[in-house]
Chains A and B, each alone.
Chain A
Amino acid sequence: MGNIVVSPHDKEGQHHMMATPTSNNPNGGSAATAKNKSEITVLLLGAGESGKSTLFKQVQFFHGVGITHDQERIELIEIVRLNVLENAKNLVAATQHLNIPIEQPENRETAKLIINSLNTNDLEDPSWSKRLYSLWKDAGIQKAYENREKFQLYDSTEYLFENLDRICSDKYVPTVVDVIRTRTKTIGITDMKFDVGDGKQLRLVDVGGQRNERRKWIHFFNTVDAVVFLTSLSEFDLNLYEDNGYWRVKESLRVFNEVVNNALFYKVPFVLLFNKRDLFEKKIATKSFSKYFSGFNEAEEKNPVACIEYMTKLFLNEITEHPLDTVSVKTLSAIDHDNSKQVFEEVKQFIMTQQHRE
């Protein structure tokens, strides 16, 4: 994936550099002292469902932690199946909400059972694979799925329904990809540590992204050595999980503004990751991007590079306090193992280089 380098001579950047405060930074020494620290704390921040935990899981996986062993993934069977049920319930509820009938009578029966009594244990029975897949392929459900911006649905819905034959089996053991693609809302704050050479450890902190979760972020602000801020490219047509009337992009920009301009992060290396590039490219092929951004040239709306450049400018415009030469912008598809590995390596190098510069 292409990286966008923000140089201090960038037009947008110059404006912001002029506005950089120098005297009233209460904790400006944070990054300077980090050079000598044996532990580098990196915060993964961003609004809800921006992909922080997916990247976190990928990093765990690179380092042989957590989901590498079958035994550990077996514990996640229930969560994968709960994801399937949750998606199925949301889709069925959406057909009612959007007034789209489920066409086939047998699928209507299945929908009734899903809402009323189906549980994860039932999914051990392979017959549910066929029933759920038939429901998924029902024209009514597909129509609701096409309108998924109107309700809350996990990104992994299609993936899970396409893998029902594996998931609905008593011998099912989740694969690494299943686990990566399973949505679990992070609540609170969690972290992991791994060696990065030179006797140093990198402590990666993952957080919940919803509004109430952000109140908890402050607990780590004093000790942070770098921030990786994630935002989802594919959320341009979606509203918030915790506030249905609020546009996700607006929320992401607001959170980004608050974080990047926070005085505590003044000298802290800052990485902006535009995540879900894969989903975004699929989405703009069928949906209008310019409909949501009045300043964007409609003729370019099927061009992902142009769209991402536009989004980049939107976000960089929010930077009023932070020096731009300590900001890096990259795109990411966190569900892609190789891409995550490559991007995270670059992020790590950027952070280490910034620290050496200090």
Chain B
Amino acid sequence: MTQTSPKGASSPSLLFITKPSSPTKQRSFDTRNFSKPNNILNEYKFQLPLGELQTIILSNFLKDVSHSFTLPFDDFLDRGFQDSFVQLFHEFLELEQNVMTLKFIFKLDEFKLLKSAKNRFKLGHELVDIYVKDCSANQLNLPNHVKENFMKEFAKCSIKETPVTIFDPIFSHIHYSLGTDNYMRFVGSDLYAKFVLDQSAMEFRKVSKISINQVCDFLERFYIQMGCRKMSDNLSLSDKLVQAIQDRESNQVSNESFEIEGAKVCSSPKSSRAFSPNSEDTESYPYDGDSDFKSSLHVMPSSSKVFEVLESVMLDGSGIVQDKHYTLFKMLHQDEGIWHQSGVNGETTSYYTELNLKHYNSDSKRKLKKEKFKIFKETGIVKASTDEVIRIMFDSYFSKEAVEETSHIDYVQGDIYSCIISQLCVKKNFPLTSRYFHVGLSARDETLHEWHIGKENKNQETFSSICNSKQSSYWIARLPIHNSKFQPPKGHTKGSLFGGSYIERISNTECRYSMMIYFDMNSFLPLTMWKSNKNSKSDLISNFNELVRERREQSTDSIDSQTINTIIDYRKNIGNLYGFTLN
């Protein structure tokens, strides 16, 4: 495919098919505990099939492991109040008597979404009464100067004018306090460990034999799915688990013992199902390296979110990019555990994944339906700055000489992201002779985005310096368009394309380019074609590097600013939010 790749940097491997989702069906999502916001504590009291020993081993081990993964507090909050993990934090804060702080943060989201000043004024007063006033039982812990300055500003508010940002100083303060105090304890708490343990118990509930690698594989996927970043650590998870088991062994008083892949462990009689002895009559864990099973392991808390975004893309079809799309790409990109390497060709490494996303069938709420979403990813190092790469991409995108299959047909301005709308044509062998795609494409400046959502003071100077910087990282999103206005030529078939590219700054002269893409060819893909696509080699990165060389030789001055409209508009829109202008 060529719509976003530079000249000749097509990715012939990026073809696969899955049955299109029906846009008319209402679905509810993942049935696992993750999607249930309430009664989490009760659930794992009753659903833990693992024995006492496993609980002890895993709890101690998990506490240790949890330090190897870190989930930034902002990312955590982005999961939303109804997210089961956030609900668990809510439970934790109830124990620590600080639930009001979390409630305030999410109430503030409601406040910010209100469009009328009158409604903001009303809710603002409620928030002040509940969370700020000295007499309130739910008063937030605020320093004197923050509270006093806020009250002075709030006194100026009226039905006609109540700024959306009025609570920002309070938010900044409590966000910092919650993130540096309670949240730090939460991620090292028993409650958190039990939550993770429960997920593994659910995963392994029907089996009695599991290996260390299987447990570690599950846990690593779990943490990464939760959005955690892996921190450098000398010991691998399996080393840690073996160590935890050996520690346990040295303290164990029972005489009964069993083995886990060479690590001899003592067991209490109750723990016969947990890390069980080599019993032949019990069901074994079905993991055998099969990719289907690996992806079924991947039904994680965010799977409902993945599905939700994918479904909204299919239902909406406007091509207008929103933050949730970038969030999804980011999540998939960071989740190294889901990708299976399919090959390396020169500087390009190719991956594929099949996400098994479970959801309820609308016809029968109890029946689980499984959808496979096959996504490809290609990545490698380009020897150019991020700025050069994004310009090359857009140049190629608009160059009819370079990419014959792509034509630019419209330009749409959304709230924040503007989109270039293009028609692409992919030609393949029978039965996929010609597939037309209508795609909305938008780009985001990651440094500006971080600044926009960050806690820093917002000022024109910083805004300008970011916009003028040539050292940002960029995300590019591509969404399918189902508008009847855009139709393929008569007799041809229309497919859906959904993808994201990340141009990640490594240094001033190097960046990592990663492209993920999902295709729905509106037809079944023959198995032979799927296999050949899966295994075919891509020249994406070497072609990029060649283009960089060519472009440098030809001219460095002929940058057409019209070609990067989506980024310029994005910057303008962020600037407008804060009253800044783009130089």
Contacts and interface: CB of A to CB of B under 8 A. Distances in A.
Given A116-B459, A242-B143, A187 B181 contact: yes
A186 B185 CA distance: 11
B181 A186 contact: yes
Interface string A236-278: 0000111110000000000000000000000000000000000
Contacts of A189: 96-97
B106 interface: no
Interface in A151-182: 152
A248 to B, nearest CB: 12
Interface string A132-152: 000000000000000000001
A208 interface: yes
Given A69-B67, A71-B68, A119 B454 contact: yes
A116 B145 contact: no
Interface stretch (B172-180, B355-363, B405-413): B172-180
A17 B152 CA distance: 48
Contacts of A82: 176, 180
B327 interface: no
Given A82-B180, A116-B461, A189-B96, A75 B144 contact: no
A206 to B, nearest CB: 10
A21 interface: no
A215 B180 contact: no
A188 B98 contact: yes
Contacts of B148: 244
A188 B93 contact: yes
A178 to B, nearest CB: 14
Nearest to A240: B144
A219 B144 CA distance: 25
A343 to B, nearest CB: 24
Interface of chain A: mostly helix, strand, loop or mixed: loop
Interface residues of A, number: 35
A7 interface: no
Contacts of A186: 181
B142 interface: yes
A188 B140 contact: no
A243 B68 contact: no
A20 interface: no
B158 interface: no
B41 interface: no
Interface in A180-213: 184-190, 208, 210-213
B213 interface: no
Given A71-B67, A244-B145, A184 B462 contact: no
B182 interface: yes
A117 interface: yes
Contacts of A244: 144-145, 148
A216 interface: yes
B563 interface: no
A2 to B, nearest CB: 33
B178 A187 contact: yes
Q: What secondary structure prevails in chain B residues at the interface with A? A: loop
A42 B134 CA distance: 28
Interface residues of B, number: 36
Contact of A187 (B68, B98, B143, B145): B98
A152 B144 CA distance: 10
B529 interface: no
A59 B176 CA distance: 25
A243 B139 CA distance: 14
| Candidate in B97, B144, B148, B177 with the most chain A CB atoms within 10 angstroms | B97
Contacts of B178: 187
A78 B141 CA distance: 21
Contact of A117 (B96, B134, B456): B456
Contacts of B139: 212, 215
B159 interface: no
Interface string A90-128: 000000000000000000000000011101000000000
A72 interface: yes
Nearest to B178: A187
A36 B56 CA distance: 28
B70 A187 contact: no
A71 B457 contact: no
Nearest to B457: A116
Interface string B221-252: 00000000001010000000000000000000
Nearest to A69: B67
A216 B97 CA distance: 7
Interface in B137-159: 137, 139-145, 147-148
B144 A242 contact: yes
B142 A188 contact: no
B67 A75 contact: yes
Counting chain A CB atoms within 10 Å of each CB, the highest count among B67, B180, B233, B457 belongs to B180
A306 interface: no
Interface in B167-199: 176-178, 180-182, 184-185, 188
A79 interface: yes
Contact of B233 (A71, A79, A184, A240): A71
Given A116-B459, A188-B182, A243 B144 contact: yes
A74 to B, nearest CB: 7
Interface in B103-148: 134, 137, 139-145, 147-148
Given A79-B184, A152-B143, A244-B144, 7 more contacts: A71-B67, A76-B184, A82-B180, A188-B181, A189-B97, A190-B96, A212-B140
Interface of B: 67-68, 70, 93, 96-98, 101, 134, 137, 139-145, 147-148, 176-178, 180-182, 184-185, 188, 231, 233, 454, 456-457, 459, 461-462
Interface of A: 66, 69, 71-72, 74-76, 78-79, 82, 115-117, 119, 152, 184-190, 208, 210-213, 215-216, 219, 240-244
Closest 5 CB pairs of A and B: A188-B98, A188-B96, A216-B97, A212-B139, A188-B97
11 contacts: A69-B67, A79-B180, A116-B456, A184-B184, A185-B181, A187-B96, A188-B97, A190-B185, A212-B140, A216-B98, A242-B144
